[in-house]
A and B are shown apart, each in its own frame.
Chain A
């Protein structure tokens, strides 16, 4: 394993380090002073467990570091630790995340503010290890807050924000931070590492309060219940997820105030949209080829913009619909699939269309594109082909609702 390239400095001084997205998450865990971490290797998530392991071994971080015998136990252990008041971290990738599915379903139901990293990976079979978003998206309906980041700095910052929001008593829901396999988990970039003092100012201690599982606060957690109880329990989770948008906004505002780094709209990033005719959309690291392609297209006079969804749950439908209403057409690039879904498109496309359906304002046509599956590169010409099709739709010309891009055909 590569040697960590940052060194401990004084508590009050920010510093810069050349680290991967996974390492950035590990640093966030250290700064957040996480109490219990469980691990079980699967590429590309395993990079984060290696980095945390190294921090512990080097005496830079103090936590219970437990290597489980599989992902199901891995997530169950931190779930229980979190119920006992421990700040926890966990993570996985692809089918490892799916193997933990039972634990993943009960975690939001029990209002456990677990923070997890998903190193996005294609689901088996075939046993591929490149990025696809279907792993994290599998929990989209269950009460997990889901966020996609596109660079190491954002990974670190978002991890801190995730703890702040998840552990807020109004929320108490888990959060999964998605980092694209390879493009983010395995590539090093310069990252500003905030001082411990600032982090302490931003992130209060985790207080489980009345839900603390402790001999001094004897409670029974997760009993059986019949139909007299389940709807009310689900309604409570609904309310918590509803509040999440508000608490996220508060956290981003505080983050800006304390760290001096603003993310603008917390839910989605807009790039070159002010004068755009059409926009492309997507999540994660495909933002890089898209942005490069947009710069080239703009030289040719094509006014193309980009909207990168950051928070997928909660989904800022009203704000997104308001933004998209400004454009003539929208092309959504999904690094995932949803076979048999209404338009046989990816998941994000369906959700964007849904967000526009009930919007009061204009509803531009939305085209779906499936690209970059299994870690295949999304190239600049790919993006230009997408934009050409979206322009056709903007001109009122019929286009297929879902297209595969970068496919040998």
Chain B
């Protein structure tokens, strides 16, 4: 039996689907240049994809047909040589819309495998987000703004070929730089893209992640019931209504916090989150009304606290808020917990205001997808600069 290779690409549903597919297809084609056989596929349960939902694409390659079939006999790989996260906020974990539970980003990595992340952050910041893993692995950061290159109209920023070049370096047994460059030129007829792959190949480096590094939180789990434990008739009891909210300082109760599904959190869909200025809020209710996920808790004094257990980061609250910088979307990499902002504000107003100002200043808005025409073009110079430096 020959060597079996498996690589997964974790991406944001729809916006990065074409990007992920270009990567997994090119892996197979490049390996085939060297006589290997492979398949490229997406996780069926993630299809049709939803905006921002973590989804997965895979490439499986074997030295020969029988080896490949060993890999194909599984619904999807149980372990991979490389996990590629094409959005760094995915490092907080993966929960697809078809509900497989929250998976740590590095869950499928073999011991000594590589987590390759496109990010502007340093490895230390990535490690704050990724859950701890019992076995050591390598973390490689490919410098770049997160590529939301699109589904139908592909805004090529060379993220695909830079990742392919990095793979040639990380896993040289899979394919050489020369092979992947040939595949790049064959597919896209662009020598500049082949050059981008070579630069990523030269520059990529990794750090070893020990088992004691990473987010120590245990990802939430749920047990699948046995058939005779499940309710019949494909009927699901509703979630209870909810209860009042308690003020952490005065212990007064009031307002309303709806109960939420304890196991289906959805928050890994988030690439950014709203931060709320409670001092300037005029209690107009618009964020609470418009939120498609009912994520706002009503506080005893009638303010609206975006609950990070339920927020998908869509940005509707920011869009409807009539007060400047009362609700501001901030990149998810800036946060290491899902704690209540309102409680922090109640406990220490001055500290919260400083925290809020820092978040808004240092972590500018970046949405999955583009929210107005021309936003992509505006970001191109910055992307180029980051890539050039990286």
| Chain A interface (Cβ < 8 Å from any Cβ of B) | 109-112, 172, 210-211, 213, 218-223, 225-229, 231-233, 235-236, 239-240
- 13 A-B contact pairs sorted by A residue (CB < 8 Å): A111-B233, A112-B233, A219-B235, A219-B236, A221-B234, A221-B235, A221-B236, A222-B234, A225-B234, A227-B45, A228-B99, A232-B227, A232-B230
Chain B residues positioned under 8 Å from A239 (CB to CB): 227-228
Chain A residues positioned under 8 Å from B233 (CB to CB): 110-112, 172, 211, 221
Contacts A226-B45, A226-B98, A227-B45: A232 and B226 contacting too (C-beta < 8 A)?
Answer: yes
Contact of B232 among A211, A213, A218 (CB under 8 A): A211
Chain B, 224-255, CB within 8 A of any chain A CB: 224-228, 230-238
| Chain B interface (Cβ < 8 Å from any Cβ of A) | 45, 98-100, 224-228, 230-238
> CB distance A111 to B232 under 8 Å?
yes
Contact of B227 among A219, A226, A236 (CB under 8 A): A236
User: In the complex, how many angstroms separate the beta carbon of A85 from the nearest chain B beta carbon?
Assistant: 13
With a 10 A CB-CB cut-off, give which of B226, B227, B228 has the most chain A CB atoms.
B227
> CB distance B235 to A211 under 8 Å?
yes
Assembly CA distance A111 to B232 (angstroms): 8
User: In the complex, how many angstroms separate the beta carbon of B260 from the nearest chain A beta carbon?
Assistant: 15
> CB distance B226 to A210 under 8 Å?
no
For the complex with contacts A211-B232, A221-B234, A236-B230, 7 further pairs of A-B residues with Cβ separation under 8 Å are A111-B232, A172-B232, A213-B235, A219-B238, A226-B99, A233-B234, A236-B227
Chain B residues positioned under 8 Å from A218 (CB to CB): 237-238
Interface secondary structure of B, over-half rule: loop
> CB distance A231 to B227 under 8 Å?
yes
User: In the complex, how many angstroms separate the beta carbon of A8 from the nearest chain B beta carbon?
Assistant: 37
User: In the complex, how many angstroms separate the beta carbon of A240 from the nearest chain B beta carbon?
Assistant: 8
> CB distance B236 to A220 under 8 Å?
yes
Across the A-B interface, the 10 shortest Cβ-Cβ residue pairs: A232-B227, A218-B238, A111-B233, A235-B227, A226-B98, A220-B236, A211-B233, A219-B235, A221-B235, A226-B45
Chain B residues positioned under 8 Å from A226 (CB to CB): 45, 98-100
Assembly CA distance A263 to B227 (angstroms): 35
Chain B residues positioned under 8 Å from A221 (CB to CB): 233-236
User: In the complex, how many angstroms separate the beta carbon of A47 from the nearest chain B beta carbon?
Assistant: 32
Chain B residues positioned under 8 Å from A232 (CB to CB): 225-227, 230
Assembly CA distance A227 to B96 (angstroms): 13
User: In the complex, how many angstroms separate the beta carbon of A179 from the nearest chain B beta carbon?
Assistant: 28
Chain A residues positioned under 8 Å from B225 (CB to CB): 232
> CB distance B45 to A223 under 8 Å?
no
Chain A residues positioned under 8 Å from B234 (CB to CB): 109-111, 221-223, 225, 233
Chain B residues positioned under 8 Å from A211 (CB to CB): 231-233, 235
Chain A residues positioned under 8 Å from B227 (CB to CB): 231-233, 235-236, 239
Assembly CA distance A191 to B227 (angstroms): 44
Chain B residues positioned under 8 Å from A225 (CB to CB): 234
Assembly CA distance A276 to B236 (angstroms): 54
Chain B residues positioned under 8 Å from A213 (CB to CB): 235
User: In the complex, how many angstroms separate the beta carbon of A262 from the nearest chain B beta carbon?
Assistant: 33
Assembly CA distance A271 to B339 (angstroms): 76
Chain B residues positioned under 8 Å from A172 (CB to CB): 232-233
Assembly CA distance A103 to B231 (angstroms): 22
Assembly CA distance A118 to B279 (angstroms): 68
Chain A residues positioned under 8 Å from B100 (CB to CB): 226, 228
Assembly CA distance A110 to B230 (angstroms): 13
Contacts A172-B232, A210-B231, A236-B230: A219 and B45 contacting too (C-beta < 8 A)?
Answer: no
Which B-chain residue is minimally distant from A221 (CB atoms)? B235
Assembly CA distance A236 to B230 (angstroms): 9
> CB distance A236 to B232 under 8 Å?
yes
Assembly CA distance A213 to B233 (angstroms): 11
Assembly CA distance A378 to B186 (angstroms): 71
User: In the complex, how many angstroms separate the beta carbon of A231 from the nearest chain B beta carbon?
Assistant: 7
> CB distance B238 to A220 under 8 Å?
yes
Assembly CA distance A239 to B233 (angstroms): 12
Chain A residues positioned under 8 Å from B237 (CB to CB): 218-219
Chain B residues positioned under 8 Å from A219 (CB to CB): 235-238
Chain B residues positioned under 8 Å from A227 (CB to CB): 45
Which B-chain residue is minimally distant from A169 (CB atoms)? B232
Which A-chain residue is minimally distant from B99 (CB atoms)? A226
Assembly CA distance A211 to B230 (angstroms): 13
Assembly CA distance A112 to B225 (angstroms): 23
Assembly CA distance A111 to B234 (angstroms): 8
Which B-chain residue is minimally distant from A212 (CB atoms)? B235
Chain A residues positioned under 8 Å from B230 (CB to CB): 229, 232-233, 236
Chain B residues positioned under 8 Å from A233 (CB to CB): 227, 230, 234
Assembly CA distance A27 to B224 (angstroms): 47
With a 10 A CB-CB cut-off, give which of A236, A239, A240 has the most chain B CB atoms.
A236
Assembly CA distance A266 to B74 (angstroms): 47
Chain B residues positioned under 8 Å from A223 (CB to CB): 234, 236
Assembly CA distance A232 to B232 (angstroms): 10
Chain B residues positioned under 8 Å from A210 (CB to CB): 231, 235
User: In the complex, how many angstroms separate the beta carbon of A114 from the nearest chain B beta carbon?
Assistant: 13
